[in-house]
Amino acid sequence: MKIGISIKLDVTKLDKSRFFVGEKGTYADLTAFIDTDVQGQYGDNGTISQSATKEEREAGQRMPIAGNCKVFYKADSQPQQAPPPPPAYPQKPDYDQGDPVGNSVPF
């Protein structure tokens, strides 16, 4: 299944000490929990928070919610059958090439 989501994130809630520098920029690890079938009170489908470390997860520590997300597009990714071809219609005769039926008018 393919989904499109819009994200609203309060960056002031992110712990900047958890940011890290990579080859192409400065990054933050985030985690999103999305339920495509259920909407919350404000029309959102999930929450976003900074990712917890392994130790924090094992200790049961939860990270504060920094934003939410809303599903705006949902499509089944299973291959769909091609639509049937349109019905074949007889072609119109090309009168500039003569009468294809042989019913020429003699005048």
pLDDT 10s digits, 3-30? 899 999 999 999 999 999 999 999 999 9
Provide φ and ψ at 96, rounded to 5°. -70, -20
| Helices marked H in the chain | 54-58
pTM, to two decimals: 0.63
Instruction: Answer yes or no: are the C-beta atoms of 92 and 101 closer than 8 Å.
Output: no
